[in-house]
Amino acid sequence: MKNKLALLSLAGLFAAPTFAEIQINGFANLIGGMTLDDDEAVYGYDSDFTFNPASVFGLQVRGDVSDKLSATAQLVGRGSEDYDASFEWAYMTYALSSNSSISAGRVRLPLFKYSASLDVGYSYHWLTPPDSVYGVLINNMDGVRYDYTNYYGDWEYGFQVFGGRGENGDIDAEKLVGVSFEATRDWFSVRSIYAHTEFTSPNEDLTTLTDAISNFSAVVPTVTSLSNNFLLEEDSTGFFELALAIDKYDWFVGAEYTHINLKDAPIAADDAWFITAGMRFGKFTPHITYEHKESDANDVLEYLDDVPSTISTGDAVTDATWATLYQTFTAIAAAQDEDRSAVTAGLRYDVEPGFAVKGEVTWYTDEVNDANDATLLRVGVNYTF
């Protein structure tokens, strides 16, 4: 029923007779995979072969209201969400000039090099982009985005300025603003973005813990600051990205780096990057990618510097309760340590324009916990129409 209602809404959106032209495009990524051992699990896959974690089917409709005004909607069904179709894009665009426009509604956040085509697997050589960099919680926002493109000599450049809010379930990114810039000359391209938001993610267990330790404020006055730091409530968050690419057609090299920093939050800042390279032999594109992500638990452990690990109130139960709570918060902070990497070797075969077959093997390594190491095999097809 949900899918039927979504399709009816999509049809109604573009049913007005004022539309001079309607364009309908579709895409699909049918990706199956499994890990090699029974005790291995990574990226939503385990030793049982499945298509669900990364398979995506989508339909995009664009209609021209006038020479300058257009409407775009994108309906997507993901295997990870039981293929329940939902509108991920739904916005209006007004052309201010031949090289600038303003869009309002639900739009894609330009966080990464491949953000605009993130769901269209045919547009890149991997089955899915490196998770270390692209595995963020929010990719779309409700708001306004300004786009500008132009030329300067042999350079083509453009920038986007945006503002609004994003959400994913109970996760909210309020007061979301940012600017991105990209420039291309022949075979070289560079892009970067800086974005800022106030991030909120309710957690009942964490709230219960902070409420419990806040009861000790009369004994340990600094505990109030500790409690605030361990809640994700409108925490200032910065995001930075830099991407470089060289594409000589016969071969290509690319790299992308991101830094995410949450201030006064129980989540450590993380740095993630990848470097990828490949060659094109007719319809075949072999490629290899190394990706890495790390976070330092000390970013969160420092919140405990101003509170004692033990107290002496004269009441054994009270003192023991404090010690247990302190150890719990220490464990939460220590769990923010992250040091993982992956090497992916793959092959793309372009059957025909708009249709590609791909296969990949990924060796995943977790330096913090060896039990998370895994080898993942995936195959899939990407097509567009």
Query: Could you tell me the CATH number of the domain that includes residue 248?
Result: 2.40.160
Q: Is residue 260 part of a domain?
A: yes
Q: Give the length of the chain.
A: 385
267 exposed, middle or buried (CB, 10 Å; 0-12, 13-18, 19+)? middle
Chain center to CA of 250:
30
Q: Report whether 258 contacts 271 (CB < 8 A).
A: yes
pLDDT reported for residue 21: 78
Q: Report whether 189 contacts 245 (CB < 8 A).
A: yes
Per-residue pLDDT of the chain (385 residues; tens, 9 = 90+): 444 444 444 444 444 444 457 899 999 999 999 999 999 999 999 999 999 999 999 999 999 988 999 999 999 999 999 999 888 999 999 999 999 999 999 999 999 999 999 999 999 999 999 999 999 989 999 999 999 999 999 999 999 999 999 999 889 999 999 999 999 999 999 999 999 999 999 988 899 999 999 999 989 999 988 988 898 999 999 999 999 999 999 999 999 999 999 998 889 999 999 999 999 999 999 999 999 999 999 999 999 999 999 999 889 999 999 999 999 999 999 999 999 999 999 999 999 999 999 999 999 999 999 999 999 999 999 999 9
pLDDT reported for residue 227: 87
Q: Is residue 6 part of a domain?
A: no
Cα→Cα distances 184→148, 153, 378, Å: 14, 11, 32
Domain count, the chain: 1
DSSP reduced 3-state for 299: helix
Range of the domain at 197: 38-51+93-384
Look at the block and give the residue holding tokens 């060896």.
370
Q: Is residue 68 part of a domain?
A: no
Q: Report whether 242 contacts 182 (CB < 8 A).
A: no
pTM exceeds cut of 0.75: yes
Q: What are the φ and ψ backbone dihedral angles of 228, each rounded to 5 degrees?
A: -65, -40
Q: Which two tokens stand for residue 362?
A: 């990924």
**SS3 annotation, 86-98:** EEEEEEEEEEEEC
DSSP reduced 3-state for 205: helix
Q: What are the φ and ψ backbone dihedral angles of 345, each rounded to 5 degrees?
A: -115, 130
Q: Report whether 375 contacts 40 (CB < 8 A).
A: yes
Q: Is residue 164 part of a domain?
A: yes
Question: Residue 328: which of 221, 244, 205 has the closest Cα?
Answer: 205
Q: Is residue 169 part of a domain?
A: yes
Q: Which two tokens stand for residue 247?
A: 């594409």
Q: Is residue 245 part of a domain?
A: yes
Q: Report whether 30 contacts 381 (CB < 8 A).
A: yes
Q: Is residue 32 part of a domain?
A: no
Q: Is residue 251 part of a domain?
A: yes
Task: Please tell me the distance from the alpha carbon of residue 253 to that of residue 276, in angstroms, as a whole number.
Answer: 6
Task: Please tell me the distance from the alpha carbon of residue 84 to that of residue 4, in angstroms, as a whole number.
Answer: 10
